[in-house]
Amino acid sequence: MAETYPQITVRTEAEAQNARAEVGSVQASAKLAEHQRTQLDLVHSQVPTEQKDFWINRDGLTYAGVHLIVDMWDAENLDNEALIQKALKEAAIEAGATLLHVHTHKFEEGGGVSGVAVLAESHISVHTWPERNFAAFDIFMCGDARPIDGIPALKRAFTPGHINVVEHKRGIAL
C-alpha cells in the first residue's frame, strides 16, 4: 500500500534537509500508528467475547459474593494446626470452591491458630482462642461456590456446642 505525504517545495539545501526530516517523522508516525493498531487488534482478538466476572445474580440481586461470619463457641481442637489445615481444605472442597493455598500460624504454647485458605473464589480464614474454646471463621466466596456447604466440615472438626452464622452479600450498591 502506497503512503501519501504532503508535497514539499524545496528552495535551499537546509530546507531540503528539514523536509526530509519531516517526511521521515511522518513515516515513523504512520508506522507507529499501524503498529499500535496491530497490537490493539491482537489484544482484542484474545479477549473472550463474553467474559465471566464471577459476580452472582440471584433473586433479583447482583453482588460480588456471600460472606459468612461464623462464630463457634465451646469448640475443641482449636490448637491443632494440622487439623485446622485439614478442616479448611475440606470446607473449601465441600463448598465447591477451588483451593489454591492454605497457610496457618500456630502461636506460642497454649495459643491459638490463625490461618487462611486462599481460594480462586476468595477465602476462608480462621482465628482460634483455645483458652476460651472459641473460633472465628470468615467464609467469603463468589461465583458458583456455596459457602454455607463448607460449615459441616468445620463442625465435624471442632464440634462446637454453639454456632452463630451471619450472612452478608458483598458488593451490593445501596
Task: Catalytic residue, from 25, 122, 125, 168: name it.
Answer: 122
Known catalytic membership, residue 122:
yes
Q: Is the pTM of this model over 0.85?
A: no
Q: In whole angstroms, what is the distance from residue 128 CA to residue 93 CA?
A: 21
Distance set, CA 65 to CA 15, 71, 141 (Å): 66, 19, 5
Average pLDDT, whole number, for the chain?
A: 83
The average pLDDT across 117-145 equals 97
Q: What is the pLDDT of residues 58-88, one digit of tens each?
A: 888 999 999 999 999 999 999 999 999 999 9
Confidence (pLDDT) at 26: 54
In percent, the amount of the chain with pLDDT more than 70 equals 70
Task: Catalytic residue, from 101, 127, 162, 168: name it.
Answer: 127
The average pLDDT across 25-37 equals 56
Q: What is the pLDDT of residues 51-65, one digit of tens each?
A: 568 899 888 899 999
